[in-house]
């Protein structure tokens, strides 16, 4: 297990159509500061000493939890990274400075056509300015949006290069700096989708994913769907590394996704799938989730929730 990813809440005003946790301003699930303090007691149970990634929803909307989390992460020897859209920066540029008092952290901004519909480029500029002043490492996650030919990851990389040349030159050799998520679109060949679905999952099962409901999940994708309770691996205040792996190994769907890919999980239940649905969606995870949701129709949810 590498990092610990904590979803502080499910609240967000940005409203991305493909948000993997369906965050909105109406979703009020969150982890409060007391919960965060209890989570760190005996955190060695996860056998991880790498990053704690703070996300949501919008993690800056859980500011008190974030503050105590950064403080405890630093005290327990973890690095912290905050994954955010930056939507708050215009109204609250002081957030970055105030948080720095709690502990060091990196900031990772999501940058793509979908986010930038609500988060204007001016906000990105402001975040770059503020974080440079404070010496905060700033990283980006970019995504290919299907059928979006102008605002591609290359477009944003060029924009960063042109507008923030110092930042670009400082970071270009840092492998964590820019993370590009590939996606499927309407023009993706069915054979490519099938090939992907027959591959074991390399994205999930690596990190400890803690949901806004206080449970551990195998990946970020399976935390967002309506059948999420089928994929809970235990209470995050108690469960440790050994229990997580035991739960994955004995889980009839997760063990198959992990070793043979989502298609194997579906065929285990003699389920079929309409490929016309899948190409509406974007990332391999989205397609995996559609497959997995289909298991509901075969009585899986009832048996394993």
Positions touching ligand SF4 (CB under 6 A) are 12, 14-16, 19, 23, 56-58, 85, 110, 115, 201, 203-204, 219, 221-222, 257, 262, 284-285, 288-289
* Residue among 72 and 281 whose Cβ is closer to ligand SF4: 281
* Nearest alpha carbon to residue 33 among 64, 71, 72, 56: 64
* Residue among 74 and 148 whose Cβ is closer to ligand SF4: 148
For the CB of residue 4, give the shortest distance to ligand SF4 in the complex, in Å: 16
Distances 282 to 71, 125, 232, 287 between C-alpha atoms, Å: 36, 28, 24, 8
Computed over its alpha carbons, how large is the radius of gyration of the chain?
A: 19
84 is written with which tokens?
Answer: 């955010």
* Residue among 72 and 96 whose Cβ is closer to ligand SF4: 96
For the CB of residue 162, give the shortest distance to ligand SF4 in the complex, in Å: 25
* Residue among 72 and 247 whose Cβ is closer to ligand SF4: 247
Helix or strand or coil: residue 109? strand
Distances 284 to 16, 193, 202, 204 between C-alpha atoms, Å: 17, 8, 11, 11
For the CB of residue 79, give the shortest distance to ligand SF4 in the complex, in Å: 21
What is the biggest distance separating any 2 CA atoms in the chain, rounded to whole angstroms?
A: 57
For the CB of residue 76, give the shortest distance to ligand SF4 in the complex, in Å: 26
For the CB of residue 10, give the shortest distance to ligand SF4 in the complex, in Å: 8
* Residue among 23 and 138 whose Cβ is closer to ligand SF4: 23
For the CB of residue 300, give the shortest distance to ligand SF4 in the complex, in Å: 15
Are 52 and 73 in contact by the 8 Å Cβ rule? The answer is yes
* Residue among 171 and 251 whose Cβ is closer to ligand SF4: 251
For 253, which DSSP code?
A: T
* Nearest alpha carbon to residue 177 among 107, 76, 113: 107
């Amino acid at each position: 297990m590498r990092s610990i990813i904590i979803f502080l809440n499910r609240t967000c005003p940005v409203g991305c159509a493909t948000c993997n946790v369906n965050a909105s301003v109406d979703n009020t699930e969150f982890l409060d500061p007391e919960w965060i303090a209890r989570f760190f007691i005996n955190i060695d149970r996860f056998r991880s000493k790498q990053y704690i990634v703070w996300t949501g929803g919008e993690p800056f909307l859980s500011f008190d939890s974030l503050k105590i989390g950064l403080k405890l992460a630093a005290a327990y020897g973890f690095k912290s990274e905050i994954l955010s859209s930056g939507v708050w920066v215009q109204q609250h540029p002081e957030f970055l400075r105030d948080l720095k008092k709690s502990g060091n952290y990196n900031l990772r901004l999501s940058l793509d056509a979908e986010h930038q519909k609500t988060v204007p480029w001016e906000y990105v500029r402001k975040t770059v300015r503020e974080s440079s002043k404070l010496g905060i490492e700033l990283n980006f996650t970019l995504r290919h949006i299907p059928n979006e030919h102008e605002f591609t990851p290359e477009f944003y990389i060029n924009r960063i290069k042109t507008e923030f040349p110092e930042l670009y030159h400082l970071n270009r050799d840092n492998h964590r700096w820019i993370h590009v998520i590939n996606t499927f679109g309407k023009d993706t060949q069915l054979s490519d989708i099938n090939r992907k679905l027959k591959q074991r999952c390399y994205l999930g099962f690596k990190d400890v994913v803690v949901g806004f409901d206080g449970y551990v999940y195998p990946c970020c994708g399976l935390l967002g769907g309506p059948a999420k309770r089928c994929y809970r691996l235990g209470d995050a205040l108690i469960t440790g590394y050994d229990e997580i792996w035991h739960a994955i190994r004995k889980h009839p769907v997760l063990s198959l996704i992990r070793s043979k890919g989502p298609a194997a999980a579906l065929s285990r239940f003699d389920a079929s799938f309409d490929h016309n649905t899948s190409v509406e969606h974007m990332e391999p995870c989205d397609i995996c989730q559609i497959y997995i949701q289909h298991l509901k129709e075969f009585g899986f949810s009832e048996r394993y929730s």
